[in-house]
Amino acid sequence: MARKNHTRLLLRFLKGSKALFLLSMLASALSAICDMLMPQIVRVAVDQALGGADASRLPAWVRTLAERMGGFAALGERIWIFALALILVALIKALAQYGFRVANTAASERMVKTVRDSLFGHIARLPFAWHMHHRTGDMIQRCTSDLETLNSFISEQMTGILRIVILLGFSIGFMFSMNARLAMIALAPVPVIVAYSIWFHHRVGVAFLDCDENEGILSTMAQENLAGVRVVRAFGHERAERDRFEKQNAYYTGLWMKLAVPMATYWSVGDILSGTQILLTVCYGAVFCLRGEMTAGAYIAFLSYCALMTWPVRTLGRMISEMSKAGVSIDRIAYIMTSEEETDRGSRLTPELSGDIVFENVRFSYEEGKELLRNISFTVKGGSTLGILGGTGSGKSTLVLLMSKLYELEPGRGRISIGGVDLREIDTAWLRSHMSVVLQEPFLFSDSIRGNIAITRDDATEEEIRAAARVAALEETVDAFPKGFDTLVGERGVTLSGGQKQRTAIARALMQKAPIMVFDDSLSAVDSETDARIRAGLRDSFRNATVILISHRINSLKNADRILVLDDGRIAEQGTHDQLSRAGGLYQRICEIQEEAV
Do both 310 and 234 map to the same domain? yes
Rg of the Cα atoms in the chain: 36
Please give the pLDDT value at position 325: 73
Residue 235 has pLDDT above 60, yes or no: yes
Better-predicted residue by pLDDT, 1 or 204: 204
Strand partners, 360: 415
Give CA–CA dist 355/351, Å, rounded. Answer: 10
From the list 410, 425, 323, 423, the residue with the least C-alpha distance to 371 is 410
Please give the pLDDT value at position 494: 66
Residue 1 has pLDDT above 60, yes or no: no
Alpha helices in 156-290 (DSSP H): 161-178, 180-187, 189-227, 229-234, 238-290
Give the domain-ending residue among 493, 513, 533.
513
Give the domain-ending residue among 316, 337, 358.
337
Q: What is the CATH number of the domain that holds 490?
A: 3.40.50.300
Do both 317 and 377 map to the same domain? no
Residue 270 inside a domain? The answer is: yes
Kindly state the average pLDDT of the residues 272-296: 85
From the list 477, 476, 523, the residue with the least C-alpha distance to 498 is 523
Residue 344 has pLDDT above 90, yes or no: no
Give CA–CA dist 127/404, Å, rounded. Answer: 12
Q: Is 86 exposed, middle or buried (0-12, 13-18, 19+ CB in 10 A)?
A: middle
Q: Is 165 exposed, middle or buried (0-12, 13-18, 19+ CB in 10 A)?
A: middle
Better-predicted residue by pLDDT, 221 or 454: 454
From the list 554, 561, 540, 533, the residue with the least C-alpha distance to 385 is 561
Q: Please say whether the beta carbons of 414 and 376 come within 8 A.
A: yes
Residue 249 inside a domain? The answer is: yes
Give CA–CA dist 286/282, Å, rounded. Answer: 6
What are the backbone angles phi and psi of residue 17, rounded to the nearest 5°?
A: -125, -5
Do both 117 and 12 map to the same domain? yes
Do both 450 and 312 map to the same domain? no
Residue type, 305: Y
Residue 135 inside a domain? The answer is: yes
Q: Please say whether the beta carbons of 42 and 176 come within 8 A.
A: no
From the list 404, 360, 353, the residue with the least C-alpha distance to 383 is 353
Give CA–CA dist 153/158, Å, rounded. Answer: 6
Do both 179 and 304 map to the same domain? yes
**Other residues' Cβ atoms within 10 Å of the Cβ of residue 94:** 12
Residue 272 inside a domain? The answer is: yes
Residue 224 has pLDDT above 80, yes or no: no
From the list 477, 480, 517, 525, the residue with the least C-alpha distance to 499 is 525
Residue type, 362: V
Residue 91 has pLDDT above 90, yes or no: yes
pLDDT digits (tens, 9 = 90+) for 159-180: 777 778 888 888 888 888 888 8
Residue 243 has pLDDT above 80, yes or no: yes
Helices and strands (DSSP H and E) totals, the chain: 23, 10
Q: Please say whether the beta carbons of 536 and 523 come within 8 A.
A: no
Give the domain-ending residue among 292, 321, 337.
337
Q: DSSP states of 444-481 as a string?
A: --SSBHHHHHTTT-TT--HHHHHHHHHHTT-HHHHHTS
Kindly state the average pLDDT of the residues 75-98: 90
Give CA–CA dist 37/192, Å, rounded. Answer: 28
Residue 533 inside a domain? The answer is: no
Residue 107 inside a domain? The answer is: yes
Please give the pLDDT value at position 368: 67
H or E element, residue 557: helix 554-557
Do both 84 and 8 map to the same domain? yes
H or E element, residue 363: strand 357-364
Q: What is the CATH number of the domain that holds 105?
A: 1.20.1560.10
Strand partners, 418: 357, 421
pLDDT band for 87, please (50, 70, 90 cuts): very high
Segments forming the whole domain that contains residue 314: 2-337
From the list 17, 310, 303, the residue with the least C-alpha distance to 164 is 310
Do both 196 and 85 map to the same domain? yes
The gap from C-alpha 499 to its chain's centroid, in whole angstroms, comes to 34
pLDDT digits (tens, 9 = 90+) for 127-138: 888 888 887 777
Do both 147 and 199 map to the same domain? yes
Give CA–CA dist 316/303, Å, rounded. Answer: 20
Q: Which of 293-302, 537-546, 571-580 has the lowest mean pLDDT?
A: 537-546
Residues whose CB falls within 8 Å of the CB of residue 295, separated by 6 or more in sequence, listed in order: 46, 47, 51, 53, 289
Q: DSSP states of 365-380 as a string?
A: -SSSS--SEEEEEEEE
Do both 310 and 416 map to the same domain? no
User: Which strands, in side-by-side order, build the sheet including 415-418?
Assistant: 373-380, 357-364, 415-418, 421-422
Residues whose CB falls within 8 Å of the CB of residue 596, separated by 6 or more in sequence, listed in order: none
Do both 521 and 571 map to the same domain? yes
State the average pLDDT for the chain. Answer: 84
Kindly state the average pLDDT of the residues 118-124: 90
Do both 565 and 476 map to the same domain? no
Do both 286 and 227 map to the same domain? yes
Residue 536 inside a domain? The answer is: no
Interior angle at CA 21, CA 20 and CA 22, nearest 5: 90
Q: DSSP states of 113-148 as a string?
A: HHHHHHHHHHHHTS-HHHHHTS-HHHHHHHHHHHHH
* Ramachandran class of 470: left when φ > 0, alpha when ψ lies in -120 to 50, beta otherwise: alpha
Local structure of residue 390 (DSSP, 8 states):
E
Instruction: Report pTM.
Output: 0.73
The helix/strand/coil state of 438 is: strand
Residue 534 inside a domain? The answer is: no
- Percent of the chain residues topping a pLDDT of 90: 14
Q: Please say whether the beta carbons of 452 and 445 come within 8 A.
A: yes
From the list 387, 335, 68, 31, the residue with the least C-alpha distance to 212 is 335
Structural domains of the chain, count: 3
